[in-house]
Amino acid sequence: MIINHPLLGPRDAQEFTYLGDAALIDRPDGMSFPDANAAQDAFHDYLYLRDNPAGEHRELWYHEQGDRSWLVVTRNTVTHEITKVELARDVARAKGRSK
């Protein structure tokens, strides 16, 4: 596969390390829950449950053999076609994440 890195252009996917669903960006704040039970419920859903779609999938890839960027790649899991590649940092910011 070839990933079109937003900064570096097309790169063989072999240069990257895969993590998984880009929903991992949506990490809850561990201090924002009324009790440990609610926190664990939320973190359970966040960490363990996946949509795992057969079709378009937004996912995290890390340019380990390159510039160390984390990318959000939009890729079809049936055809492997890639339709979009973004810097994960930009995606995280767009989702309102900051510090």
Cβ(63)–Cβ(12) below 8 Å: no
Number of Cα atoms under 13 Å in the Cβ half of residue 48: 6
Residue 8 or 41: the one with the smaller Cβ distance to another protein is: 41
Q: With respect to another protein, which residue has the nearer C-beta, 8 or 64?
A: 64
Torsion on CA atoms 85, 88, 92, 93, rounded to nearest 10: -80
Residues that bind another protein (CB under 8 A): 1-2, 13-14, 17-21, 24-25, 27, 29-31, 33, 36, 39-45, 47-54, 57, 59-60, 62, 64, 68-70, 75, 77-82, 87-93, 97-99
